[in-house]
Amino acid sequence: MPAAIEKGSILIHRVFDVGGEISLTRAEQLITETGKGPRLKFSTNTRKAVIIKDAPLKTELGGETLKVPSGSFPVKIFARLWNYGVISITLDLDIPPGTRWEDLVTLAAELEASDEIDLLTLARKDALKKQVMPAIANPADWDISEDYITYIVEKAAGLGNPREFIKKVDVAALIMAENKEILGEESRNFILESSIQYSSTDLAIIDWNSALLIEPEGQRDVADVIEFSLTHLLEFRYYDEMLSRKLDELYDAMDKKRESVANIFRNSYSDIAEDSSHKYMEFSEFLGRVENSLKTVGDPYLAIVFRASAMEFHFDDWRKSISRKMKTLAQISQILHGEVNTRRSHWLEIIIILLIAVELIPMAVDLWKFLR
């Protein structure tokens, strides 16, 4: 087993939805000059440089000391603002030279269980959001966030051939942050089988909760693509939860079914239906952006990384769930519109009958007088 990791880092991500949209140009103006950073760009010596359309704005947020049971670690903190209303906060922690693999697994378990990370990233997000608030359209706070950890190994004893290296260390224990239980052979093989490579010296293993990247040159483009995918996952979850909430509103409205005479000319469901149509267009635009991401990430290897992330994050399942709810939402809205229109027709028929009756009253009075 390799003795120790000589050089590496850990990227701890927290991703938050803060509003409908962020004007990156306006946000860049609001962020102080010392904190301003470049837009996200993938550029390496071996791969063609590519730039994400509407690339996020990166800003440095200083440093902090992260305390876990095994010790205190200095971390650099930076954030990225994405134009679709997302802020991602990343803690960049250098792996101490000489760290044994089993100690790295222990650290991974401590990071997964750390409440301090959540408090720290939430505080930095709130401060940054307050700073760029004028650039955020429809600001909001969603109580759900995404978390992810990427382990990057640049140098290690016995690293040589990455595929041979991952056979000598317990990659599954690191990916699953499991330092107590011994994982079964099937679990280990399943994780190892998902590895992908660009060259013979690098390797990436991407799982739903964390990733291991072997990058001898210290490149961060693969890690950036994973973060890019993570923001999409958050948006999928947001739209799915939002549609569930809209459906609940419609179900409650159907249970009440109260249309009084005073509002017979007002469709009480029209506001919900109109808002649903707006959300449908909003999601369609977002879905198109996700589908075009593979074209935007023009480097073939990075496109493979994006697809691997999309598979681990179950993009297809989220997409199907949202599409199913969108269809249900449209059908229920149509039914409610039909019910209200039917009720209006009934009331109009009653009014017409009453008007005819009123017209007949004088004739009935005259007839009654005549018969007397």
Contact present, 136 and 57 (Cβ < 8 Å): no
* Sign of the CA dihedral with 159 first, then 163, 168, and 173 last: positive
Q: Is pLDDT at 13 greater than 60 in this prediction?
A: yes
Summarised one tens digit per residue, pLDDT across range 187-235 is 777 888 889 998 888 999 999 999 999 999 888 999 999 999 999 999 9
Cα separation, 279 vs 270, in Å, equals 14
**Crossing angle for the helix pair 221-256 and 300-312, nearest 10 degrees?**
40
Please report where in the chains the tokens 């179900």 appear, as a residue: 251
Q: 7-16, 27-36, 90-99, 173-182: which range is least confident on average? A: 27-36
275 or 178: whose pLDDT is higher? 178
Residue 155's SS3 state is strand
* Sign of the CA dihedral with 319 first, then 205, 207, and 239 last: negative
Share of the chain above pLDDT 70, in %: 80
For strands 210-214 and 145-156, give the pairing.
parallel
43 or 214: whose pLDDT is higher? 214
How far, in Å, are 140, 177, 348 from residue 273 at the CA level?
22, 45, 24
pLDDT at residue 262, rounded to an integer: 44
192 or 101: whose pLDDT is higher? 101
Task: List the domain boundaries for the chain.
Answer: 5-226, 229-367
User: End-to-end distance of the chain based on CA atoms, in angstroms?
Assistant: 118
Cα separation, 316 vs 206, in Å, equals 17
Residue 194's SS3 state is coil
Average the pLDDT over 93-107 and give the result.
94
Summarised one tens digit per residue, pLDDT across range 279-329 is 777 777 777 776 666 566 667 888 889 899 999 999 999 989 988 888 887
Q: Is pLDDT at 185 greater than 60 in this prediction?
A: yes
